[in-house]
C-alpha cells in the first residue's frame, strides 16, 4: 500500500500539468499600465497612454500626463506594447461543446423543435480545454448559445475565466434564439458533390407553429400571476418587456425581412439578425428598423457561385458604412473562435474602414447588442478592467501575441493545453 501511495504522489505533478490553470484571484491592489498605445474601442487611440484600475474597475485612462497614484500601485511598463478591450465572441457553443466526436461532451442541443426554456447558462463548463486557448487570442468574453430546433433556447454571456458558471456569468439569459424557416432549402449531393436549391415546402407549416407559439407567449406575458406556470412561455416573457433580445438566424434577404416583420407583429422591439448572409441587400431596411446583424464567419467562400469571391470579407464594412450595427461571430463554432480577431482584421483589409472601426465589430458592438456595454466593450472610467496587452496589432495574427490579460482586474493565466503540447514536442525534436 505504501508503494502505491508513493507511486501516486510521484505521478501527481504530471496529472496536474495536464489540467487547466486555476482561475485568477480577484484584484488585490491597484494596477497601473503605462507607456502603451491604448485602443479604447470607440475609435479613439491614446499614444503613450496610462490606464489604472482597482477592485476590478477602471479608475483612470488617458495620456501619460494623467494623474494616477503610482506609489500605491503595481506599475507595469508596457512601452511599445498595445492595450485593447477584451474581445467578445457572440453566437458560439463555447463551454457547451468540447469534442465533436464524443457525444458525452456535447451539451448544446435538446430534443424537440420549440425549446425556449432550454438555457445554456447551467450547461456552461468552465473546465473546457477550449476556453484557455481563446484567452490566448484575446477572447475574454463569450456568448454561449443553444442549437437545434426552430426555437433553440436562451443564451448567456460569460467571462472566459471562472471556477463555475456562477463565477463566469456576465449576463444571464440575454436572448432567445430562433431559426427562421428559409424560403429556399439547400441540399448537398455527395454523388455529384454539388449543392441544389429548391423551394422549402415546409416553410409555411413552421411559420404557423411560430405564430401560435408567439401568440401564446405574448398572452402569457400579460398575466401578472398565472394560475399555472408554463416554463416555455415564461422563458419568452423577456421578449415582450424588452429585457431580452430575439436573435433570429436568417440568411436570405427575403427571410431577413419576413423574420423582422414577424417579430414586430408581436411587439418585440429588440431584434437581432444572426448569420445575415444577404444582409447587405436589405441594409436600408435593417437601418430603418434599428436591427443589428451578427454576421457568421467571414473567412469562407461566398454562398452563391455568382458572388464575388471576396464578398464575405467586404460585407461587414459595407453594412457598417450603410449605418447598420455589425458584429462578427463564428456562428456555432467553438474551437475556431480563437481566430475571431482576424475576421475583424480582414474586414478592415477588404473594406473602406479603419482598423479602429473594425475593432468595434468584436468589442463595442457585441457589448451594445447584448446590453453589457455599461460593463465592457470599451476602455472607459467606471467600466470593468477586462482588457489585454499585445506585442502588436490584435487584428493581425503576426501581432496578436497576448502578453497579459485581465478580467475584472484579475490577471488571467494564459497557459493552455496547446502551449504545453508545443513546448513538449519542441523539446522532443530540438527545435527553437
Query: Which pLDDT tens digit goes with each residue over 300-318?
Result: 988 888 889 999 999 999 9
| pLDDT tens digits, 63-102 | 999 989 898 999 999 999 999 999 999 999 999 988 877 7
Q: Are 160 and 140 in contact (CB under 8 A)?
A: yes
Question: Between the CA of residue 126 and those of 20, 107, 122, 159, what are the distances in Å?
Answer: 9, 13, 11, 9
Contacts of 359 (CB under 8 A, 6+ apart): 39, 41, 84, 344, 394, 395
Instruction: List, in sequence order, every residue forming a beta bridge with 95; answer none if it has no partner.
Output: none
| pLDDT tens digits, 204-218 | 999 999 999 999 999
Architecture of domain 87-376: Alpha-Beta Barrel (3.20)
Confidence of residue 332 (pLDDT cuts 50, 70, 90): low
Q: Where in the chain is the domain with CATH 3.20.20.140?
A: 87-376
Q: Are 339 and 362 in contact (CB under 8 A)?
A: no
- Residue 101: what pLDDT? 77
Mean per-residue pLDDT, 331-347? 89
- Residue 268: what pLDDT? 97
| pLDDT tens digits, 7-66 | 444 444 444 445 678 899 999 999 999 999 999 999 999 999 999 999 999 999 999 999
Instruction: List, in sequence order, every residue forming a beta bridge with 139; answer none if it has no partner.
Output: 87
Strands 402-407 and 410-411, how do they pair?
antiparallel
- Residue 258 is placed in which grid cell? 419576413
User: 3-class SS at 140?
Assistant: strand
CA 67, 87, 278, 244 torsion-angle sign: negative
Q: Which residue has the cell 451539451?
A: 107
The CATH code belonging to domain 20-86+377-432 is 2.30.40.10
For the chain, percent of residues with pLDDT exceeding 90: 75
Q: Where in the chain is the domain with CATH 2.30.40.10?
A: 20-86+377-432
| pLDDT tens digits, 121-145 | 999 999 999 999 999 999 999 999 9
Q: Are 30 and 17 in contact (CB under 8 A)?
A: no
Amino acid at each position: 500500500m505504501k508503494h502505491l501511495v508513493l507511486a501516486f504522489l510521484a505521478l501527481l505533478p504530471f496529472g496536474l500539468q495536464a489540467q487547466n490553470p486555476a482561475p485568477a484571484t480577484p484584484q488585490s491592489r491597484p494596477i497601473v499600465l503605462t507607456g502603451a498605445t491604448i485602443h479604447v474601442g470607440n475609435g479613439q487611440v491614446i499614444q503613450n497612454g496610462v490606464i489604472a484600475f482597482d477592485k476590478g474597475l477602471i479608475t483612470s485612462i488617458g495620456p501619460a500626463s494623467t494623474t494616477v497614484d503610482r506609489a500605491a500601485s503595481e506599475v507595469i511598463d508596457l512601452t511599445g506594447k498595445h492595450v485593447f478591450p477584451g474581445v467578445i465572441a457572440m453566437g458560439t457553443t463555447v463551454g457547451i461543446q468540447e469534442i465533436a466526436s464524443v457525444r458525452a461532451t456535447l451539451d448544446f442541443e435538446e430534443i424537440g423543435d420549440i425549446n425556449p426554456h432550454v438555457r445554456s447558462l447551467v450547461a456552461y463548463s468552465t473546465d473546457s480545454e477550449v476556453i484557455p486557448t481563446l484567452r490566448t487570442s484575446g477572447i475574454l468574453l463569450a456568448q454561449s448559445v443553444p442549437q437545434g430546433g426552430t426555437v433553440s433556447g436562451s443564451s448567456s454571456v460569460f467571462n472566459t475565466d471562472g471556477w463555475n458558471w456562477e463565477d463566469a456569468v456576465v449576463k444571464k439569459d440575454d436572448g432567445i434564439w430562433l431559426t427562421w424557416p428559409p424560403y429556399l432549402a439547400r441540399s448537398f449531393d455527395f454523388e455529384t458533390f454539388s449543392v441544389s436549391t429548391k423551394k422549402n415546402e415546409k416553410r409555411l407549416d413552421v411559420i404557423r407553429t411560430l405564430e401560435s407559439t408567439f401568440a401564446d407567449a405574448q398572452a402569457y406575458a400579460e398575466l401578472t400571476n398565472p394560475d399555472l406556470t408554463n416554463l416555455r412561455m415564461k422563458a419568452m416573457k423577456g421578449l415582450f418587456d424588452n429585457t431580452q433580445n430575439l436573435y433570429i438566424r436568417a440568411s436570405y434577404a427575403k427571410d431577413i425581412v419576413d423574420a423582422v416583420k414577424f417579430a414586430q407583429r408581436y411587439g418585440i422591439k429588440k431584434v437581432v439578425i444572426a448569420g445575415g448572409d444577404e444582409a447587405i441587400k436589405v441594409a436600408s431596411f435593417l437601418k430603418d428598423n434599428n436591427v443589428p446583424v451578427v454576421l457568421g464567419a467571414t473567412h469562407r467562400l461566398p454562398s452563391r457561385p455568382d458572388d464575388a469571391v471576396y464578398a464575405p470579407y467586404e460585407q461587414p464594412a459595407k453594412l457598417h458604412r450603410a449605418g447598420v450595427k455589425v458584429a462578427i461571430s463564428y456562428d456555432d463554432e467553438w474551437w475556431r473562435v480563437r481566430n475571431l480577431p482576424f475576421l475583424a482584421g480582414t474586414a478592415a483589409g477588404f473594406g473602406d474602414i479603419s482598423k479602429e472601426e473594425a475593432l468595434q465589430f468584436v468589442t463595442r458592438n457585441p457589448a451594445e447588442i447584448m446590453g453589457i456595454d455599461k460593463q465592457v466593450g470599451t476602455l472607459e472610467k467606471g467600466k470593468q478592467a477586462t482588457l489585454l496587452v499585445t506585442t502588436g496589432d490584435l487584428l493581425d495574427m503576426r501581432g496578436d501575441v497576448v502578453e497579459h490579460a485581465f478580467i475584472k482586474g484579475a490577471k488571467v493565466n494564459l497557459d493552455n493545453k496547446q502551449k504545453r503540447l508545443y513546448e513538449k514536442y519542441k523539446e522532443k525534436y530540438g527545435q527553437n
